[in-house]
Amino acid sequence: MRVVVTGASGLIGMALTDVLEADGHEVVRLVRREPLTYDEVRWDPAAGRLDPRLLGRVDAAVNLAGAGVGARRWTDAYKRLMWRSRIDSTTVLARALAGLPDPPRVLLSASGVDYYADVGGEPVDESGPPGAAFLSGLCQDWEAATGPAADAGVRVCLLRFGVVLSGRGGALGAMLPLFRLGLGGRLGAGDQYWTWVALADVLRAARFLLRRDDVAGPVNVVAPEPVTNAELTYVLGAALRRPAVLPAPAAALRLALGEYADQILASRRVLPRRLLDAGFVFRCPAIEAAVAAALRGY
């Protein structure tokens, strides 16, 4: 297949392009600078520019573009950047795909489990209710921006990612330096559920969905066994053979992180119902195996 990928320089994007090419697929990376290699195509999502003629034949597309949720403190300006970097890029890509003489069979477009309301320890699947917080609204608008592609007959899968566990970046990558020094601990009370997924299973799920013509709409890309933040803390400390007993109180998190702290302290126990129903088998269904895999590398 010839697969167009946005966000190819991010944690998931870099790993996914590697495995797609290893599988023998041709990967075309959309970049905002001048292309440096034959497999890059320039686009400008902020200005609404992507010439469909530059894409050529497209069998599939994977949309992973977006500014990091936890990369900075959430000022009003940064919240606007998070919104625009997702909605603008998805809208431009979806319209370009719809404008092709022969649109691709499938578009995998990123979203997140922050779509769902904070319902504490109650498990939810893809039918769960949306929330009212900023990230929930962002996810809803992000998913809706794929509309032009769906209207053109493209099968659209909305990938609602949990916390992706990788030693190379993301939430776990940010936590590792403190935990290796023995300075890690639970966040807040620690009883909030963190819906997580191993990077290896993200890559396998994406490849699975690229070829499953019978799956469309929202798909929770999460492990089948969510854990509390305290459980994750314990497993990570044990894997590193370091104590993990220094909690970060909720008040301190809110002082340091502002509005973003409420996302860290929220509880979402999200299950991968549609993946399981489609027959997907997780390589790392339990947190212990996922943390071990993350520390080894994907």
**Domains present along the chain, CATH in parentheses:** 2-296 (3.40.50.720)
Beta strand residue intervals within the chain, DSSP E: 2-6, 26-31, 40-42, 60-63, 106-112, 123-124, 155-161, 163-165, 193-194, 196-198, 217-221, 227-228, 269-270
Tell me which residue of 165, 143, 230 sits closest to 192, measured CA to CA. 230
The amino acid present at 116, given as its one-letter code, is: Y
Q: Which residues of the chain have pLDDT under 70?
A: 255-256, 298
Q: How far is CA 96 from CA 47, 57, 59, 134, in A?
A: 14, 12, 13, 28
What pLDDT does residue 118 have?
Answer: 93
What pLDDT does residue 187 have?
Answer: 87
158-172 burial, b if ≥16 CB within 10 A, otherwise e? bbbbbbbbbbebbbb
What pLDDT does residue 260 have?
Answer: 79
What pLDDT does residue 298 have?
Answer: 47
* DSSP three-state, residue 174: helix
**Contact (CB, 8 A) for 65 and 6:** yes
What pLDDT does residue 141 have?
Answer: 98
Distance CA 87, CA 77 (A): 15
Residues with Cβ within 8 Å of residue 241, at least 6 apart in sequence:
none
What pLDDT does residue 255 have?
Answer: 67
**Contact (CB, 8 A) for 222 and 196:** yes
Distance CA 23, CA 1 (A): 10
**Contact (CB, 8 A) for 259 and 265:** no
Express each pLDDT in 180-207 by its tens digit: 888 888 888 889 999 999 999 999 999 9
What pLDDT does residue 58 have?
Answer: 97
Q: How far is CA 114 from CA 129, 193, 255, in A?
A: 11, 12, 21
Distance CA 260, CA 229 (A): 16
What pLDDT does residue 71 have?
Answer: 77
Alpha-helical regions (H) of 241-286: 250-257, 260-265, 273-277
A 10 A CB-CB count for 87 gives 17
What pLDDT does residue 10 have?
Answer: 94
Q: Which two tokens stand for residue 277?
A: 């129903």
